[in-house]
Chains A and B, each alone.
Chain A
Amino acid sequence: MIKRSQNSGFRIQKRIVRFLGLILLAATAALAAPEGVASYERTFADAARAYDENRLPEAIAGFETLANAGQRMPEVLFNLGNAYYRNGNLGQAILAYRQAQRLAPRDPDVRANLGFAAQSAGIELPARNPLAAILIDFSRAEWLAFGSAAFWLLFLALAAWIGAPRFRFVSRPLAAVFAALLLLALAGAWAHRDLRQTPEGVVMTRDQKILSGPLATATPLLAVPEGAIVRMLDVRGNWVETELGETHGWLPAAALTPVR
């Protein structure tokens, strides 16, 4: 009995030590996170100040640092686009705006600046069919969240349908509605998947021409300005098969950067 009592006391002591260790770990993590956030905020503020003082290369470097550190957020990409635009890099600016628009499709500022940059570059933004335009008007994250919500609501409605037969007159139509919403969300996610499979690409250099084949000596079909947005259909070596309006042809891979 005495031996058992000693063993029990040892276990309690061990649990307390473990609990304290966990608290210490959590506190360390909590202290570390604000440090990272503070760093991001400092970099963002420095880049914005550099932009205001017309030190555009520094502003670009600051926003690029944030983007490369996993902070590819609409605000960062939008400001990066502004810095590139001010610096005269139309292609980079349109790329950054387009990336920001992919994350925040309905942001009026992004839309306005992208349109302004496109107008400056003399390009027309790609037109989409009405259904695709509606689906792309919501970001992938929004569709996933919407789909997840529809999924769980459908789950609950089905559970109610199974578990509460008396309320099937409610749960059955609800299940149908949530299933339809889930399908809609899947369609939206599919549209974004399509954009990932055959992404848009921004022409980053001047005086590019879409050629009829993946050869430098192929027949030029269409001259494309810097900043033009094309659809990247396929890659063959150093060449990318592209689509711009009704023109299908090839561009050098080095001249294009995909919008991801």
Chain B
Amino acid sequence: MIPFRKYPNGRLETRRPRFASLAFFARGIFAWAFVFAFVLAARATDVTFDVQPRLLNLGETAQATLVFHGVRSAPNVEFPQIPGLQITGTGQQMQFGTGGSRVSLTYNLFPQKPGTHVIGPYELEYNGEKIQIPQVTLEVRAPAGNAGAATNEMIFARISLPDKPPYIHQVFDLVLNLYSLPGVELARDVNLLGGFPESGFAVGNFEELQTVREEVDGQFYNLRRFRAKARALTAGTFDLRPALRVGVVDPNQRQQRRDPFGFFDPFAGPSATPVSVAAPPAKLTVLSIPEEGRPADFAGAVGQFEFAMDVRPRDLKVGEPITVTCRLRGAGNIASALPPAYRDAEAFKAYDARQVGDVPDPAAGDGAKTFEQVVIPRTDALKELPALRFSYFDPAAAQYRTVSAGPFPLTVHPSENGGSALLLQVPGGVATGGGSLVLGSDIVYLKPAPAHWRNGGGLAAHAPLVIGLHAAAPFALAGLFFATRRRNRLATDIALARRQKAPRSARANLRKAEAALKESAAPAAVFAPLAAAVADYFGHRLNLPPGAVDAPLILDKLRAAQIGEAAQAKWQAFFALSEQIRFASSSALSRDELETWLADVAALLRKAERVKL
């Protein structure tokens, strides 16, 4: 902690202590002083000070908060001693947010005697600046003041309405006050159970204000306040019967949680009993806007508004568009307020105004909205755009007000097309040869007949076909994907590729054998392709090199695959006969025998295709 010091002119100054004797001297002389030590950047700093609650019973504690805005560090600050009030620092906290950084110093204030305790006012010298801290008064009630507490309500609610009856469409604050005795702990969430008119009355979102302490019937209460912007859409008297639901924390359960022998659950909040609290019914009278003095151009805007206009370009030719920008800003029913707009005149054609930019929330109490309107001069005699007036009803003054903007001088040159012919230029469009029409102050003439008439219901009639085509595309894509994957696999996996090729090569050689049989019926000519069929098939099937395929190996593989005794015998006979015919050339087989062998080999190969080798 930094000691403090007060100067003769009553001004407080912050400085870094250098000698203990000097600090001791300062502490002994002045009580209403405190000293800051600064290691802060040299820039304007905002410091706020608050104490809550400011009404309390003896034995309760208040909390003081000293906040340095826009800084990343702050010195320890020691408050001067105040008779009957003990001030203890509890720490500091740094926060970063969209509004910048800030450092909060917190203190507990323990009143030691009843009465009024005054803190401040202070003047801080901070980096060469003088910052005023307002005076804060703390009212402390003696315990005897709580005599009637037992007869008071523990929790109750009230609704606060504006002092003056609001006008229709006037935005006003609606505050729900929730009172609870200091010893009653409430859950953080509070639910609104309704009680506002369902129609003719618009209530925005509620926001909770700072909790304060208030005295009611001689008893202090913690007061939680919930504020919303409200607006009546019709005049008359509304019955407001709001009710709240809030959880009351059970102190017994809280004690159980502190039981050192129990299991502590860090994620379980305090158990709360929901309690419904209804505010006393209140009647809100909404006044209608007076007829007397109502301007002719009044369009229902209620509040306080500013109206500004901009006109560009101001030097142009007949037929060229002028963009008129109207900006409305203020507090009130901004969402439904409409700025004035130009209407068609002899000298110019005016199109509808269009709202641009952000649209204010209907529940917003203030904001801005911008409209753009396109105006096209019909003649070069147009020297200015006249002023526009915006009228609104000011509920604070209970009278109508009118603001205006303009007139706006213009320099309009004759059109290059001659005369004062006006080409239709729709806002946002481009006037081309085919899209331009000579326009009067009327609707655009009929359109010519369509180039193509619909026949048979158009797209709707073909919808199933179109949908089917689109639905087929993913399947085609999936087919392509799998085909590509298979192609890539065959390109990289030689064994698989040869396995796939085996039946094809066997069939090709069998066809050659058939052809040889038809031509000559010579056993050698038939058995050569037959042997090639068998060798190629098993070579590809077993992924063997060309010279490695021989009868014993094939017979071993077939035996291991358990193709059966008969088939094995047939294969052995085929290999024996094949070698005999091909190398010895001594066998004489008839055409029928050759056909039989051809069929047998084909059958044996089919059978071999079905077994796992």
**Dominant SS among interface residues on chain A:** helix
Is the CB–CB distance between A151 and B429 below 8 Å?
Answer: no
Map CB proximity to B onto A4-41 as digits: 1 under 8 Å, 0 otherwise.
00000000000000000000000000000100110011
Closest residue of A by beta carbon distance from B341: A119
Q: Is B52 an interface residue (CB 8 A)?
A: no
Closest residue of A by beta carbon distance from B487: A163
In the assembled complex, which residues on chain A have CB atoms less than 8 Å from the CB atom of B338? 124
Is the CB–CB distance between A51 and B446 below 8 Å?
Answer: yes
Interface residues of B in 454-510 (CB under 8 A from A): 454-455, 457, 459, 466, 470, 473, 476-477, 480-481, 484
Contacting chain A: which of B123-131, B142-150, B172-180, B195-203?
B195-203
In the assembled complex, which residues on chain A have CB atoms less than 8 Å from the CB atom of B481? 162
In the assembled complex, which residues on chain B have CB atoms less than 8 Å from the CB atom of A212? 198-200
Supposing A112-B426, A113-B443 touch, asked if A221 and B457 sit within 8 A by C-beta, the answer is: no
In the assembled complex, which residues on chain B have CB atoms less than 8 Å from the CB atom of A108? 424, 426, 429, 435
Is the CB–CB distance between B200 and A219 below 8 Å?
Answer: yes
Q: Is B444 an interface residue (CB 8 A)?
A: yes
Q: Is A115 an interface residue (CB 8 A)?
A: yes
In the assembled complex, which residues on chain B have CB atoms less than 8 Å from the CB atom of A148? 466, 470
In the assembled complex, which residues on chain A have CB atoms less than 8 Å from the CB atom of B457? 70
Q: Is B550 an interface residue (CB 8 A)?
A: no
Contacting chain B: which of A71-79, A183-191, A195-203, A231-239?
A71-79
Interface residues of A in 210-239 (CB under 8 A from B): 212-213, 218-222
Q: Is A167 an interface residue (CB 8 A)?
A: no
Q: Is B453 an interface residue (CB 8 A)?
A: yes
In the assembled complex, which residues on chain B have CB atoms less than 8 Å from the CB atom of A180? none
In the assembled complex, which residues on chain B have CB atoms less than 8 Å from the CB atom of A144? 459
Cβ contact of B443, chosen from A106, A116, A141, cutoff 8 A: A116
Cβ contact of B336, chosen from A40, A221, A246, cutoff 8 A: A246
A163 to B450, CA, bound (A): 44
Closest residue of A by beta carbon distance from B485: A162
Is the CB–CB distance between A71 and B454 below 8 Å?
Answer: yes
A82 to B447, CA, bound (A): 10
A75 to B449, CA, bound (A): 7
In the assembled complex, which residues on chain B have CB atoms less than 8 Å from the CB atom of A162? 477, 480-481, 484
Closest residue of B by beta carbon distance from A245: B336
A44 to B452, CA, bound (A): 13
Is the CB–CB distance between A115 and B352 below 8 Å?
Answer: yes
A45 to B447, CA, bound (A): 11
In the assembled complex, which residues on chain B have CB atoms less than 8 Å from the CB atom of A124? 338
Closest residue of A by beta carbon distance from B343: A119
Q: Is B234 an interface residue (CB 8 A)?
A: yes
Is the CB–CB distance between A141 and B199 below 8 Å?
Answer: no
Q: Is B281 an interface residue (CB 8 A)?
A: no
Please name 5 further chain A to chain B contacts, defined as beta carbons within 8 Å, in addition to the given A70-B454, A73-B454, A82-B445, sorted by A numbering. Answer: A112-B424, A112-B426, A162-B480, A245-B336, A246-B202
